[in-house]
Structures are given as structure tokens and as C-alpha cells.
Amino acid sequence: MIVTPITEMLGIKYPVFQGGMAWIADGTLAAAVSNGGGLGIIAAGNAPADYVRNEIRTARSLTDKPFGVNIMLMSPYADEVAAVAAEEKVAVVTTGAGNPSKYMASWKDAGIKVIPVVASTAMAKLMTRLGASALIAEGGESGGHVGELTTMVLVPQVCDSTDLPVIAAGGIADGRGVAAAFMLGAVGVQMGTRFLAARECSISDTYREKILKAGDLCTMVTGKRLGHPVRSLRTPFARNYAKAEYSDISDEELESMGVGALRKAVKDGDSENGCFLAGQIASVVNKVESAADIVRSVIEEAEPVLKGATRWIR
Ligand code: TUI
């Protein structure tokens, strides 16, 4: 059994968060992860407030365990979704892709534990000052929106910059990754890509097949030109987008190329036009299993690795 400041703070059995994957992480997946002893997280993504309220109610109907809501700060609906999270008094709010400063007081007043994703020590220090309960240090191995630093360098530096518990994310999909994260000073992990293969994750069959088949070099980052780099599978869409970024098309045209691409991957399984977000660790994800089995097995794998960590020392 691994007991850490984050399992104690949240009253969860395993120090495992499920990442807030836009269009994917709904109330059903979040409840399955929470019922399995981890922290399930509903992704608001670019969805309006009503969608998020509905998913919160779905999760509540399926579990009495704590779960979270992830607020994607670039969403046009971020303000209204932030208000719904406060009204519904969810246990945890995580944030991504920006600076949540303006919402922090309202969430804290509602008794919510705020756990922002940070991609730098400056953001870690700011969030610590504003009263975050913990931090998620997410390196650029992750799928979706990525920062500059890798998990290997970000986690120890964030740990040095705060007294808060730190959750590591980016490139973690099994017990070895969990053990490595703990070695860097983290007290828990967040995984996204691994949960794409959870039975309760309702992505298209095409998306799931692509994850199960992915190799180590199967992802690429696009979107740097517009300031929003995103890691996804190297599909025709990603290649075309990358080509367009270095062409003379306008920023507006480039922006419009991306509209709806995520939904086409998740809902339609459109191999040509979909944007299949995935992390660099996708190749270790090779079987479909329940969310509860994923949560339990990564910790059970990590325990002997951590115990045997000194096996080279004589
Ligand atoms: O947010 C994520 N991953 C995401 S969000 C998303 S939806 C999307 N769709 C199209 C374009 C962009 C996003 C898909 N995947 N991960 C958490 C994360 N947050 N990673 C990095 C950051 C981050 C970056 C900068 C957090 C804070 C930050 O601060 C910048 C500043 O100073 O405002």
C-alpha cells in the first residue's frame, strides 16, 4: 500500500489521477476511476456549462467517491464552467492550458481543492501563493497541450519550488513510470493515454486501435506557430497541419483547419481528418481493461520497483 500526502488529503486509495482529456473524460470514466480508488476527472474541454453539469450529475449517480473537474482555460466557456464547478462543489478542480488565478478564490470559497497543472516553476510558485492544494507538474511527453519542459526535468524543479504535494504527469503509463515519478519527488501521478484503453472510456474503436498499435515515434507536436503546441498521433491530419504551419497560409486559415478535429477523432474515428491526441508513452499501452484494474495495477507494479530501487548498491 502506498500512502502519500495526496491519498490522505483527498481520501483516495491510490495516488493515481485520470487526466482531464477533452471530449473523452466524461462522468462515466471519471466515476469508474474513482470507484477503482483513484481520482477520476471530468474534462470540460471546450464544452459549455450544461454539458459539464450533466457529467457531474452522471458521475454522482455512479460513485460516492471524490472526483474532479478539469477546466481547460483556453475554452470560450471557461468562465461559466468555472462557476458550475463552484456551484456543484466538486471535490477537486484541476486546470490546464493557462493561468487560473482569477478563479482561485471562488473555488476555494466553495471548499474545493484546487490542483492546477503547471508547466514551469514560475507558475508553481504563483499557484502556491494563491492557495492551491497541490500541483500537477506535466511534462511535454503528454498528449494534448504541451509545455516546453520534459517530465524528467520539470517534476524535481517544481518539487523544489513549492511545499505543496506534487503530482507528476506526462509519459507515465505503468508502474515503472509511477516509481520514477516518486523518485523525482512526486507523491502521485496523473495518466491520460493509459486510460484511453480503459473499458469505460467511450472513444471510437479507431482511436482505441490506434493507441493499442502505436509505437514510440508515433506522436508529433503541431500548433507551435499559433502558440498552442499540441501532441497527437502522426496521422494524415497532423502531417497536413504541420505542412500548413510552414506554408504561407494565414493564421486564420490555419486555426480553422483545427476546428472539430478532436471531435472527429473521438466520436467519428475519422482517420483522415481526426486529431488523435496521445502521449509519447502510447506504445506501452497494449490491452483494454477496466479503469479499476489500471489504477490498481500501476501501483502494484510500482511497489516492488520502489522497494528494489537500491538493487545495484553493494
Ligand atoms: O491542458 C492540457 N492538455 C490539453 S488541453 C487540450 S484542449 C486544446 N485543444 C486545442 C488547443 C489547445 C488545447 C488538450 N490537451 N494539459 C495541461 C497543461 N497545462 N499542459 C501545459 C499546461 C500549461 C501551460 C502554460 C499550464 C499553464 C501554463 O501557463 C501559461 C501562462 O503563463 O498562462
User: pLDDT digit string (tens) for 268-281?
Assistant: 999 999 999 999 99
Is 234 a residue whose pLDDT tops 80? yes
Query: What integer pLDDT is reported at residue 312 of this predicted model?
Result: 76
Q: Is the CB of 119 under 6 A from ligand 1?
A: yes
Average pLDDT over all residues of the chain: 97
Identify the helix (H) or strand (E) that includes residue 18: strand 16-18
Number of Cβ within 10 Å of residue 70's Cβ equals: 31
> Distance between alpha carbon 292 and the CA centroid of its chain, in Å?
17
Does position 308 have pLDDT exceeding 90, yes or no?
no
* Ligand 1 contact, 5 CB (< 6 A): no
Residue whose C-alpha is closest to residue 58's, from 35, 28, 87: 28
Q: Does 309 contact ligand 1 (Cβ within 6 A)?
A: no
What dihedral do alpha carbons 264, 266, 271, 277 form, nearest 10°?
110
> How far apart (Å, rounded) are the C-alpha atoms in residues 244 and 238?
10
CA dist., res. 27 & res. 49, Å (int): 14
Tell me: pLDDT of 296 over 80.
Answer: yes
Residue closest via CA to ligand 1's atom 24 equals 97
Q: How many Å lie between the centroid of ligand 1 and the Cα of residue 155?
A: 17
Q: Is the CB of 265 under 6 A from ligand 1?
A: no
Could you give the 3-state DSSP secondary structure of residue 135?
strand
- Is the model's pLDDT at 310 over the cut of 80? no
> What would the mean pLDDT of 56-76 be, rounded to a whole number?
98
- Residue 311's pLDDT is 72
Which of 120, 123, 145 to mutate to test ligand 1, by most ligand atoms within 8 A of the CB atom?
A: 145
Q: What percent of the chain has pLDDT over 90?
A: 96
pLDDT, position 276: 98
CA of 311 to the centre of ligand 1 (A): 38
By three-state DSSP, how is residue 162 classified?
coil
User: How far does the centroid of ligand 1 lie from the alpha carbon of residue 226, in Å?
Assistant: 13
Q: Whose CA is nearest to atom 17 of ligand 1?
A: 96
Q: Is the CB of 22 under 6 A from ligand 1?
A: yes
Mean pLDDT of 62-83: 98
Q: How far is the CA of 83 from the centre of ligand 1 (A)?
A: 20
In DSSP notation, 178-213 reads HHHHHHTT-SEEEESGGGGGBTT----HHHHHHHHH
Query: How many angstroms does the Cα of residue 97 sit away from the middle of ligand 1?
Result: 2
